[in-house]
């Protein structure tokens, strides 16, 4: 299968491309190689590479930046997704579109299923929800994958930030009232491949198993790396961020397990592997 990845230089793209390249002819493109907001640029890429599948990872994912750059977030996250979906539909190409747990408000108190009603709290969450709607409106059978709390090689993420902070500070404050499932980006590749090979469409939640707070995650990072630091739990109110975050946004992956027989490993196991080779 010939696969094109948009936003291939992002965190997820860098981590899934090595796996996909071993099994498929895979082209991982940067924004300069395919600006998803430029329909003609996309048309040229499709004519040149003739893909069977496009995996759309192009997005503005900085949650706080989206609050300040609303037009940019809407153009890339919403209009860009629409352009990709229209082109894939026009040329008869399969489409995988990535989304986020931030489409939910976090008030449910238990893991969200694909059937739960979204209610985003932030510009980022809203634009990603709108991107899902655009993809479903303009492509006949898209596969939409929601994931969360992603980390991995080749990009800044929560784990690299707390490790950098530990080099500079003796005391680190981390919120203890937001809960989700830390997800190793490399672990997304196999279930992704299973879903598109089984020709699944619609929305699927894909994340490592288990739930923790950001504080719990930081504590586990320092335990594995044997770093001694004064780690202090604080509330979201104490850490003033521009964008609101859902307090509990864990995703249920039962649909993935039911339809593919596949379950992602526990987050602690994945984290240990990542940190060991970091």
Where are the domains positioned within the chain? 2-156+182-211+248-265
Neighbours of 40 (CB within 10 A): 10
Closest CA to 232 of 166, 158, 179: 166
- Of 155 and 267, more confident: 267
Give pLDDT tens digits for 52-89: 999 999 999 999 999 999 999 999 999 999 999 999 99
Give pLDDT tens digits for 208-218: 999 999 999 99
Enumerate residues 6+ apart whose C-beta is below 8 A from 35.
41, 42
Judge whether residue 197 has pLDDT over 90: yes
**pLDDT value of residue 243:** 95
Closest CA to 268 of 229, 215, 224: 224
d(CA 84, CA 51) in angstroms, rounded, equals 13
pLDDT band at 189 (very low <50, low <70, confident <90, very high): very high
Q: How far is the CA of 252 from the CAs of 168, 169, 180, 210, 244, in angstroms? A: 37, 36, 10, 10, 22
d(CA 239, CA 242) in angstroms, rounded, equals 10
Q: Mean per-residue pLDDT for 91-102?
A: 98
Per the annotation, the verdict on 124 as an active-site residue is: yes
Q: Mean per-residue pLDDT for 10-34?
A: 96
**pLDDT value of residue 181:** 98
Note the pTM of the prediction, 2 decimals: 0.96
Could you please state the CATH topology (level 3) that the domain comprising 2-156+182-211+248-265 is classified under.
Answer: Rossmann fold (3.40.50)
Enumerate residues 6+ apart whose C-beta is below 8 A from 204.
114, 143, 144, 145, 146, 195, 255, 256, 259
SS3 state of residue 84:
helix
**pLDDT value of residue 278:** 80
CA 200, 118, 10, 85 dihedral sign is: positive
**pLDDT value of residue 85:** 98
**Residue ranges of E strands in 137-238:** 143-147, 150-151, 171-175, 179-180, 183-184, 202-205, 212-213, 230-234
d(CA 144, CA 208) in angstroms, rounded, equals 17
Q: How far is the CA of 164 from the CAs of 60, 80, 170, 197, 239, in angstroms? A: 23, 33, 12, 39, 18
Across the chain, what does the average pLDDT equal? 96
**pLDDT value of residue 213:** 98
CB 5 within 8 A of CB 27: yes
**pLDDT value of residue 155:** 81
At 58, list the tokens: 């192009």
d(CA 32, CA 241) in angstroms, rounded, equals 30
104-129 core/surface letters (b: 16 or more CB in 10 A; e: else):
bbbebeebbebeeebebbbbbbbbbb
Give pLDDT tens digits for 112-133: 999 999 999 999 999 999 999 9
pLDDT band at 164 (very low <50, low <70, confident <90, very high): very high
**Residue ranges of E strands in 91-132:** 94-100
Catalytic residue among 79, 91, 112, 124: 124
**pLDDT value of residue 154:** 83
Judge whether residue 156 has pLDDT over 90: no
Give pLDDT tens digits for 39-53: 999 999 999 999 999
């Amino acid at each position: 299968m010939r696969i094109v990845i948009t936003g291939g230089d992002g965190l997820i793209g860098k981590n899934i491309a090595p796996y996909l390249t071993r099994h498929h002819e895979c082209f991982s493109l940067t924004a300069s190689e395919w600006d998803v907001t430029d329909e003609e640029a996309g048309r040229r890429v499709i004519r040149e590479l003739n893909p069977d599948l496009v995996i759309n990872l192009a997005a503005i994912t900085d949650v706080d930046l989206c609050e300040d750059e609303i037009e940019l977030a809407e153009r890339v996250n919403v209009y860009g997704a629409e352009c990709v979906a229209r082109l894939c539909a026009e040329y008869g190409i399969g489409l995988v579109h990535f989304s986020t747990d931030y489409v939910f408000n976090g008030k449910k108190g238990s893991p969200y299923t694909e059937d739960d009603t979204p209610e985003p709290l932030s510009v980022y969450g809203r634009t990603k929800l709108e991107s899902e709607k655009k993809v479903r409106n303009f492509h006949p059978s898209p596969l939409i994958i929601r994931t969360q709390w992603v980390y991995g090689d080749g990009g800044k993420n929560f784990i690299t930030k707390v490790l950098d902070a530990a080099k500079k500070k003796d005391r680190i404050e981390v919120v203890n009232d937001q809960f989700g499932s830390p997800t190793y980006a490399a672990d997304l590749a196999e279930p992704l491949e299973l879903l598109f090979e089984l020709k699944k469409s619609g929305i699927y939640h894909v994340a490592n198993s288990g739930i923790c707070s950001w504080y719990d995650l930081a504590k586990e990072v320092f335990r594995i790396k044997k770093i001694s630091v004064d780690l202090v739990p604080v509330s979201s109110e104490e850490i003033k961020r521009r964008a609101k975050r859902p307090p509990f946004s864990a995703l249920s992956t039962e649909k993935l397990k039911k339809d593919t027989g596949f379950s992602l490993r526990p987050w602690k196991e994945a984290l240990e592997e990542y940190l060991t080779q970091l």
